Amino acid sequence: MLLNRRQFLGITSATTLVAVCSPNALLGQSLPNHPQQGSSATLKTMQALPQQKNRLLGYPINMTTPSEEFFAWRKELFVVGLNQFAFNNVGNPYDQSHIAYNSHAFEKELINRFGAIYGFSPQNIWGFLTNSGTDSNMHGLYMGRTILKSRTGVMPKIYFTQEAHYSIQILRDLLNLEWVVVGTERDGSMDIEDLERQLNANPNHPALVVATIGTTFKGAVDSIDGIQSKMRGRASYLHLDAALFGSYLPHTQFATDLLHEISDQETGKKAKRYDSIAISCHKFFGFPSPAGLFITTQTNFESFLAQFSQIHDPEYILQVPGTITCSRDAVKPAEFYFFSSESAFAQQAADARTMLDNADYLLKEMTNHYHHLQPTRADNRSNTIYFSKPGETIVNRYSLATMGLNVDGQHTPFAHVVVMPHANKEILDQFLTDLGKDGS
Ligand SMILES: Cc1ncc(COP(=O)(O)O)c(C=O)c1O
């Protein structure tokens, strides 16, 4: 068969393309035949990690390995196919799904159970399991922006303090919101008088306020009722970023601090204290990979959905999801369901008690022995102690988070320890001993 010039060029360029586009060619090296080949060095390095894990003191991650029961639950889920083939939680867990391969029933139930802890009415709750605290914050801010814009016809401004988690600024950027930075008190919590000044300076815009319940570095707590007292009579939406503290406070003497509703003492009428809440699952709970809870009311969800469904075509999945992402993990909600049983809540209560006791202990020991490091605990609800930054050896050995703080006009380096459930007295004593040897 004779080929004309065009056919010849077509075949040769396609052949060249295939050769050039093979993974090996693109990588410039040959790939192993099996994943196990060539990975032993990496695995060997990783083998050391379980022995060191309890030394992680600088970040809010519970390094405790979950109980045997958790892994038995994982196995039960595996038997029914989860993590074996493609499950997907696309859509609203409170709605009918067109695809059976999901864990919506577990997801809805765990949101209802956690919602009850925060005092959400069982008749008026909505939420889902997200990818992380940041993802939960994203849904809260998107929902707040959508509801306020539809209610008033004006884009809200977002209010938060410089102590808020850095992701809030990223989300502000993503949602294209004008921002108002509210000043802070000495402990790092929101200055409520400054909030009032800022609200008064922006009378023509609804207020989307982010209260941080446990600021990332100092562990300060913004006052929900203080914020609400300044928002009366204004179009507003209050989202709580309670990524870490929100998971343990309900199990402590401070449980009522996060209640979604309070009864008016005179009228007995229930009043809403906030609109939505974000919690991380991998922080206090010790869930082994990142996930988050997003909880709001059914009323908010419906207001949001009314707008969302006008813009976004729900036809393809036969429902309006109300979530930003389409495909969602089905394995994590089913696994995290484990953390919503009565015995899991009892364990969380015990962990919360020990953790706050250990934070007391660390503060006391540091104050007694290392007063010069100015150890500080912003709030007695906090498990975070911050202090002048020690030498690099300690910072690295305990993976301490560090940050420059403005102290009386001076930029001063600080570090912190977040006393998570794995940070028991033995680890804290090792840390204290090492601090004593620190030459810096
Ligand atoms: C107050 C606060 N919000 C949000 C986040 C982000 O949470 P995640 O890591 O789950 O996205 C953190 C993380 O430390 C945090 O401290």
Percentage, residues of the chain above pLDDT 90: 80
pLDDT digits (tens, 9 = 90+) for 363-372: 999 999 999 9
Q: Ligand 1 pocket, 244 CB below 6 A? A: yes
Average pLDDT over residues 318-335: 89
- Please report which confidence band the pLDDT of residue 11 belongs to, taking 50, 70 and 90 as the band edges: low
Q: Are strands 236-241 and 207-212 parallel, antiparallel or unpaired?
A: parallel
Could you tell me if residue 8 is inside a domain? Answer: no
pLDDT attached to residue 135: 97
Residue 294 to residues 141, 280, 332, 353: CA-CA distances in angstroms? 11, 9, 14, 25
Does 176 lie in the same domain as 135? yes
Could you tell me if residue 20 is inside a domain? Answer: no
Domain boundary, last residue among 342, 374, 402? 342
In the structure encoding, which two tokens stand for residue 280, read together?
A: 């991380």
The answer to whether the CB of 237 falls within 8 A of the CB of 144 is: yes
* Best CA proximity match to 344, nearest among 149, 108, 113: 113
Could you tell me if residue 256 is inside a domain? Answer: yes
Could you tell me the distance, in angstroms and rounded to a whole number, from the CA of residue 439 to the centre of ligand 1? 33
The answer, as to whether pTM is greater than 0.95, is no
The answer to whether the CB of 333 falls within 8 A of the CB of 129 is: yes
Name the residue with tokens 């090296």: 29
Does 126 lie in the same domain as 100? yes
Q: Ligand 1 pocket, 322 CB below 6 A? A: no
Does 212 lie in the same domain as 93? yes
Q: Ligand 1 pocket, 382 CB below 6 A? A: no
Say how many domains are in the chain: 2
Residue owning the nearest CA to atom 14 of ligand 1: 216
| pLDDT at residue 263 is higher than 60 | yes
Distance of alpha carbon 311 from alpha carbon 115, whole angstroms: 29
Range of the domain at 92: 72-342
Could you tell me the distance, in angstroms and rounded to a whole number, from the CA of residue 16 to the centre of ligand 1? 48
Distance of alpha carbon 27 from alpha carbon 12, whole angstroms: 22
* Best CA proximity match to 302, nearest among 118, 153, 143: 143
Does 148 lie in the same domain as 233? yes
Best mutation site among 167, 217, 218, 399 for ligand 1, i.e. most ligand atoms within 8 A of its Cβ? 167
The answer to whether the CB of 378 falls within 8 A of the CB of 384 is: yes
Does 186 lie in the same domain as 153? yes
Domain boundary, last residue among 297, 314, 342? 342
The answer to whether the CB of 120 falls within 8 A of the CB of 298 is: no
Could you tell me if residue 13 is inside a domain? Answer: no
Does 349 lie in the same domain as 338? no
Q: Ligand 1 pocket, 280 CB below 6 A? A: yes
Could you tell me if residue 107 is inside a domain? Answer: yes
Does 240 lie in the same domain as 300? yes
pLDDT attached to residue 123: 96
Does 258 lie in the same domain as 373? no
Average pLDDT over residues 374-381: 97
The answer to whether the CB of 295 falls within 8 A of the CB of 277 is: yes
pLDDT digits (tens, 9 = 90+) for 175-192: 999 999 999 999 999 999
Does 91 lie in the same domain as 222? yes
Could you tell me if residue 145 is inside a domain? Answer: yes
Could you tell me if residue 144 is inside a domain? Answer: yes
Average pLDDT over residues 373-395: 97
- Please report which confidence band the pLDDT of residue 99 belongs to, taking 50, 70 and 90 as the band edges: confident
Burial (Cβ within 10 Å: 0-12, 13-18, ≥19) of residue 19:
exposed
Could you tell me the distance, in angstroms and rounded to a whole number, from the CA of residue 243 to the centre of ligand 1? 5
Instruction: Return the CATH number at 244.
Output: 3.40.640.10
| Sign of the dihedral defined by the CA atoms of residues 117, 161, 235, 293, in that order | negative
pLDDT attached to residue 374: 95
Could you tell me if residue 168 is inside a domain? Answer: yes
Does 322 lie in the same domain as 202? yes
The answer to whether the CB of 295 falls within 8 A of the CB of 128 is: no
User: Which residues have CB under 8 Å from 397's CB, separation 6+?
Assistant: 55, 434
In the structure encoding, which two tokens stand for residue 177, read together?
A: 């919101």
Best mutation site among 59, 258, 280, 289 for ligand 1, i.e. most ligand atoms within 8 A of its Cβ? 280
Does 229 lie in the same domain as 178? yes
Could you tell me the distance, in angstroms and rounded to a whole number, from the CA of residue 165 to the centre of ligand 1? 6
SS3 370: coil
Mean per-residue pLDDT of the chain: 92
Does 234 lie in the same domain as 192? yes
Average pLDDT over residues 209-215: 98
Domain boundary, last residue among 294, 312, 342? 342
Instruction: Return the CATH number at 357.
Output: 3.90.1150.10
